[in-house]
Structure 1
Amino acid sequence: MSSTEAGKIPSKKEISSQDAILKAAIAEFAERGVDGARIEAIAKQAKFNKSLIYRYFNDKQGLFEAALQSKLEERNESVEKIPKEITEVLQFYFKENLRDQNYVRVLLNEAQQNQGEPLIDEDWRREYYQNHIDRLKQSQSEGAISDELDPVCLMLIFTALVFFPATLPQLAQLISGHKVDSDEFQARWYDCLQMLTRLMQPD
């Protein structure tokens, strides 16, 4: 994350200042995208001189990568809270994505700017999703989901389900007639998730 000398342990002050910069950067990238984000605005929001940002992160791309990494690590901390039942897992991630719109927007920014380069923390992120695929395989072995369904395809479907309302809330509202953060939409979405998971159960 930091551009300090290799092997040097950052001080508490450095960690605190980096955290403040990353928090401001996440908000700026989420609102304006990578191209529209301004280092000056991030520095002003974080209450630090922009030269400190360049010292820690080299350039705007380095700052964006650190910001995305920060959000990924934050999301990973919620893994222990994940319920076991499939419908509850989907509802959990759906609500997490609604709660943390900056996470969703930073991921969209990554998708828009990536030109085929290796992804940030790619190996770790692949392992993260593989762990979820393994959970699906376990559910299949326990008879909760039909073993005729490809667990990788299921993971793609489930990911689409939990991201769609938060990523394209205007379409969800047009289709359902309710805003995605309303009680009406969330109750209906939960019913949809329950129906889908029932259809995936063995006959």
Structure 2
Amino acid sequence: MEVSTIASAERKLSPKIYDAARTRGIILDAAEEIFAELGYSAARIDAIAKASGYNKSLIYQYYGDKLGLYTEVVKRADQIGEQITGSFISELLKDDKLASDPAAFKSFLESTTRQAVSFLLEHRSYLRILFWEAAEDWKTWNQITYRPDDDPQMHKVALAAQKSGILRQDLDPALFPMLIMNVITMTLQSSARFEHLLGSLDSPQIREQTTRQIVQFIIHGVMEPSLL
């Protein structure tokens, strides 16, 4: 096949490829909003189709069923979070001093907490999905074919930090990543309830103040008190 013929064929295929990717993105955006608003159990493909502007048959063609669609919503959000925080955290975890130097460990806690807060505030629908899952005892989450990385490296660092006397001796290292994430998510999710006292997280000043408080709570909660 001549080069000109190949180029012509590519030009004809490109819009279709682009449209398919764009269509998937629009459907996932609509699905994420519906799942965030109603939770998995109450969400309906009809509502997602209406919100996206595409028919149900196309959604089923792309994702198979509601669970397949939900899986892709979770997968996309997790991968976006990984793009934002994954490489950053991975670099911090490579620091040989992390589990033996209190200052390095404290800096690690602050940096990872700030990254997580920033991501969740920019993706609040995903935060709501997490709370719907918690309300439904994570039943759907445990069925999905994609398993988000729970970062076993965090557990490994916690074990080493406890061995060196940085992590509290009365803290189970297995709970280390769970406690950090729960403090972050619960604080952010509950902020609207206490907005009359706290102020709105839409304000950069309130957001920074709240982030600092979360950081300090985590640091003082997991590090050996004598090192603070």
Shorter-normalised TM-score: what interval? Answer: 0.7 to 0.9
Matches within 5 A, 1:28-67: 28-67=34-73
30-39 or 16-25: which moved more? 30-39
1:87 CA displacement: 1.7
Question: Quick check: 1:120 aligned with 2:144?
Answer: yes
1:168 CA displacement: 1.9
Q: Determine the structure 2 residue equivalent to 1:110.
A: 133
What is the RMSD computed on CA atoms of the aligned residues?
3.1
Match of 1:133 among 155, 160, 170: 155
TM-score norm. by structure 2 comes to 0.67
Does the 8 Å contact 1:86/1:197 carry over to 2?
yes
Does the 8 Å contact 2:27/2:48 carry over to 1?
yes
Q: Determine the structure 2 residue equivalent to 1:5.
A: none
Question: How many residues are aligned here?
Answer: 190
Q: Structure 2, unaligned stretches of length 5 or more?
A: 1-15, 93-107
User: In 1, Cα distance between the equivalents of 2:164 and 2:70?
Assistant: 41
TM-score norm. by structure 1 comes to 0.73
Q: Structure 1, unaligned stretches of length 5 or more?
A: 1-10
Q: Determine the structure 1 residue equivalent to 2:110.
A: 87
61-70 or 133-142: which moved more? 133-142
1:93 CA displacement: 1.0
Question: Quick check: 1:177 aligned with 2:214?
Answer: no
1:113 CA displacement: 4.2
User: In 1, Cα distance between the equivalents of 2:33 and 2:214?
Assistant: 32
Does the 8 Å contact 2:67/2:144 carry over to 1?
no
1:132 CA displacement: 2.3
20-29 or 79-88: which moved more? 79-88
User: In 2, Cα distance between the equivalents of 1:135 and 1:121?
Assistant: 28
Gap change, CA 1:188 and 1:56, over 3 Å in 2: closer
1:55 CA displacement: 1.8
User: In 2, Cα distance between the equivalents of 1:112 and 1:146?
Assistant: 30
Does the 8 Å contact 1:173/1:179 carry over to 2?
yes
